[in-house]
Amino acid sequence: MKDVKVYGPGCKRCDATEAMVRQTAEMLGIELQVEKVSDYAAIAMAGVVSTPGISVDGKLVHAGGLPNAADLETWLQA
C-alpha cells in the first residue's frame, strides 16, 4: 500500500488536491493511505515551500498548485 501525504495548511486548493489524489487512486484501483499534513513545521520540514505539496512513499513529487492529472497517475502508479 502506498503512503501518500498531501501538505497544505487548509486552503481550498489543498482540499481539492486531496480529493484529486483519492479519486485518481480509485480510478486506477490503487490502494492508498492518504494523510493530510497541515502543521506548518511538518510542511516546512518536508521541503514544501508552496502548498499544496504531495509526497508518495516519503518522496516529494509535487509542490504548488493543483497537480497535472496525467502526472498524478504516473506518481501513483510508479
Partner 1 sequence: MSLHAQGAPMGKQDQTSWGWHMGVVVFVVAWFLIYKQLLGFSEWLTGLLPVERASHAGDALAFFLYDTPKVIMLLTLIVFAMGVVRSFFSPEKTRAMLSGKREGAGNLMSASLGILTPFCSCSAVPLFIGFVSAGVPLGVTFSFLIAAPMVNEVALVLLFGLVGWKVAVTYLVFGLGIAIVAGWIIGRLHLEDWLQDWVKDIHMGAVATEIPDEKLTMVDRYQQGIASVKEIVGKVWVWVVVGISLGALIHGYVPENAMVKIMGSGAWWSVPVAVIMGIPMYTNAAGVIPIVEALLDKGAALGTVLAFMMSVIALSLPEMLILRKVLTFKLIAVFAGVVGSGILAVGFLFNMIF
Number of Cα atoms under 13 Å in the Cβ half of residue 55: 18
Please pick, from the candidates 21, 48, 56, 76, the single residue that binds partner 1 as defined by CB under 8 A: 48
Site string for partner 1, 4-43 (x = CB under 8 A): ---x-x-x--------x-------------------xx-x
Cell numbers describing residue 15: 482540499
Whether the CA torsion 1, 24, 74, 61 is positive or negative: it is negative
Residue type, 41: A
Q: Does 56 bind partner 1 (CB under 8 A)?
A: no
What residues line the site for partner 1 (CB under 8 A)? 7, 9, 11, 20, 40-41, 43-51, 59-71
